[in-house]
Structures are given as structure tokens and as C-alpha cells.
Amino acid sequence: MRVPDTLRVTRDGAVATVTFDRPPVNAVDLEAIEGFEAVASMLGADDSVRAVVITGTDRAFCAGADVSMMRDLSPENHRKVRRWIDVQAGIEAMPKPVIAALRGYALGGGAELTLACDLRVTSSDSVIGFPEIELGLFPGAGGTQRLPRVVGPARALRLMMLGERLNGDEAAAIGLVDVVVPSRDEVLPAALELATKLAERATRTIGLLKRVVREGFGLPIEEGLSIEEDAVFELIGTEDAREGLQAFLERRPPRFTGR
């Protein structure tokens, strides 16, 4: 799969930043979907990348699906459009922390994209919401499933039924975002600072932690504990686990490698 010019991947040490820039509002078309799939696969498999930041432009993180792409209501077209859920699955499954740096608008499919990330950083004047109902649609690319897991089913249903748009402070109040900074120009630096901090930690452990929480959520406790047990035995075989324990005994900071 080819990475289009609308997606830029840059590196600063172990942190990779993915910038979506498709004027005027960063709407997603089929080319962008294919590009995001390629980037998620590439960064997920690159062990030298230990944290990922996904961002847009100052005006828009992502305004959702390009409506011209959606006008064809045939099942064939919407099977192609629903590959957006494959993008999110790829991001969610990355064995490393992924942070959404949300500046400007994150609406519809853009808001769904943030839900696939592990942490969300935004500004007070940015906007996140699920306005699909205004087009006679609902958030059908993961939103109906991930949003209730983040904010609870009753609140999620209200947000989707009313198509409400929330500013950063309102979104933080219900747990939809994790960090709010005063202005948009502070969002990306704050996200990169957080990503750098996480990249210095035991990222192999973080990857296992993500997997255990994702696979165990909603299962009976016995099944969840079984998943946890398998991951524990995988964890104790990692270099990071050995380094963390040894560093504690030697009373020194650990030097994690993500292995």
C-alpha cells in the first residue's frame, strides 16, 4: 500500500509523528484510508518506533469522511468506506502507545479515529463530536462501539443522537479526552512531550497491557484473568521486565529498550 502525500511521517528519536494534511478540512477519502492503513502497518512493525503521535493541521484534526465519497450509498462503495475500521483496528493494535494530538475539528470519522488511540490531547477551543445524525447516518466506523467504552453507553447514545459538538474542556469533563491545553499551538508540543515520556518506558510491557485490556474487556472475569495470565508469562520473558527489576535492586533508573 502506498502512503499518499497527504500523510507525512516524521521522526524524533523513538517518537514518530503522523500528520494528516488534506485541505481544506482533512476529510477522509479512499486514498487516505489506504494511506492510514499503510502507515499503521509500517509503524506497528518498526521496533525502533516506541511511541506514535497522530495529528492534523491547526484548523482540523480530521473533519470525518469526504461526503462526496459517501454519496454513493451502494453496499459495494460502503464496504470500501468501512475500511476505516481497519485503520482504527491497526492503530489500536499497535504494540506501543499512540496519542491523538487533536487541534481544531475532530468530527465523525475523525472523532472515531481519536477513539482508537490510547490517549487524546486537545485544546480548550478545539471541537470533537459525532454529527452524523444530521445526515441521517450514525457513526458507523467504530463509533457506536468505541464511544460507549470510553464515556459509557448512556452518554455515548446522547452524543450520537443529538450530534453534539464538545469543546476541549467539555470533552475532558466526560473523559472523552485526557489532556487539555489552553491553545491549539500547545497541543502538539504537549502530545510529543507525553509520547517521549512513554517511549522511555517499558513499551513492550505497554503493548502487552494494551492487548490484555482490549481482549479482556467485557468478558467474564475468569476468561479475562486467563488472558491476563498468558500475558504475564509472556511479560516475564522480556528484557524490559528483567531490566526493571534489576534497576530497582541496584537503586538506579531503568534503561528500557522495548524488548
CA-CA distance, 44 to 114, in Å (whole number)? 17
CB-neighbour burial class of residue 10 (10 A; exposed 0-12, middle 13-18, buried 19+): exposed
Q: Do β-strands 127-129 and 60-62 pair in parallel, antiparallel, or remain unpaired?
A: unpaired
CA-CA distance, 252 to 70, in Å (whole number)? 56
Cell 475532530: give the residue: 106
In the chain, alpha helices (H): 30-45, 67-70, 75-81, 84-92, 109-115, 143-151, 153-162, 168-173, 187-199, 203-216, 221-235, 239-249
Query: 228 catalytic, yes or no?
Result: no
A 10 A CB-CB count for 215 gives 15
Residues 58, 185 contacting (CB under 8 angstroms): yes
> Among residues 76, 112, 222, 223, which one is catalytic?
112
Query: 112 catalytic, yes or no?
Result: yes
Closest CA to 86 of 25, 131, 41, 44: 41
Residues 191, 174 contacting (CB under 8 angstroms): no
> Among residues 34, 37, 92, 132, which one is catalytic?
132
CA-CA distance, 4 to 148, in Å (whole number)? 32
Handedness of CA 172, 146, 70, 135 (dihedral sign): negative
Q: Which residues are tagged catalytic?
A: 112, 132
